Chain A
Amino acid sequence: MLSVIVDIIVYIFLIIGIFFNLLAGLGLLRFPDVYTRLHAGTKCTTFGSIFLCGSVIILGLKMWYLGNTDGSVLVIHTAGALIAILITNPTGAHAIARAAHRSGVKPYGAVVDDLEGKPIRKSAREKKGVGK
């Protein structure tokens, strides 16, 4: 009985995860500019990765519960990979968006750019007062 419930939860997790990962590829093709593509490419893959790795963690916990000690290694290492994704993915997306804005890419259909002309971050040389 418990095994059946766990399998149904795993199927639901797999469907949600693969749906959002496919949506990431589709959105990357269909959206009009860099910033909207960044929405599709980063958020969808993060959400889908949570569910795909979550299904692996649940099946590993089931293996561990049934007495197979490989399950413990599987659970801990998959959790490590998931934490690495969760920390690095939004940070990298933020860096790409800032680099795109500072290298002069405009949002699609934008009339007013509120951040135009404002220095987002002073360089290290300007902070020290050296140079200009």
Chain B
Amino acid sequence: MIEIEPIYLTILGLLLLSIVLCAIRIFIGPTAPDRVVGLDTINTLVIVGMVVFGFAKNSIIYIDVAIVYALLSYISTLFIAKYLEGGDF
């Protein structure tokens, strides 16, 4: 029998380590697209982290929040990319 809670909380800690690495790239990134790439990666990792945390704590509401967060972060990424690209909308 697998012990769900400690294993998935360990996974969440490792995901937070990966998020910290992406945050370093956001701070030192030389150009603006570098920072957007870091932000996009952080968004995906946060979505997975929400799914993992919701499963570890057995509260399904976190997974619903993850779905909404995925769609909103997609819209924000598209909008920043469109802004960097320039030109008229």
Q: A residues near B, CB below 8 A?
A: 3, 7, 10-11, 14, 17-18, 21-22, 24-26, 28-29, 34, 37-38, 41-42, 45-46, 48-49, 52-53, 56, 59-60, 70, 73-74, 77-78, 80-81, 84-85, 88-89, 91-93, 95-96, 98-100, 102-103, 105, 123-125
Contact = CB atoms under 8 A, between A and B. Distances in A.
Given A25-B19, A85-B44, A123-B88, 11 more contacts: A22-B14, A34-B31, A34-B37, A42-B44, A77-B64, A81-B50, A84-B74, A92-B81, A102-B84, A102-B86, A124-B88
B44 to A, nearest CB: 4
Interface of B: 1-2, 4, 7, 11, 14-15, 17-22, 24-25, 31-34, 36-38, 40-41, 44-45, 47-48, 50-52, 55, 58, 60, 63-64, 66-67, 70-71, 73-74, 77-78, 80-82, 84-88
A22 B15 CA distance: 7
Main SS of chain B's interface residues?
A: helix
A81 B24 contact: no
B44 A49 contact: yes
Given A73-B60, A103-B32, A48 B14 contact: no
Contact of B41 (A28, A88, A124): A28
Main SS of chain A's interface residues?
A: helix
B69 to A, nearest CB: 9
Q: Which of B15, B50, B64 has the most C-beta atoms of chain A within 10 angstroms of its own C-beta?
A: B15
A29 B11 contact: no
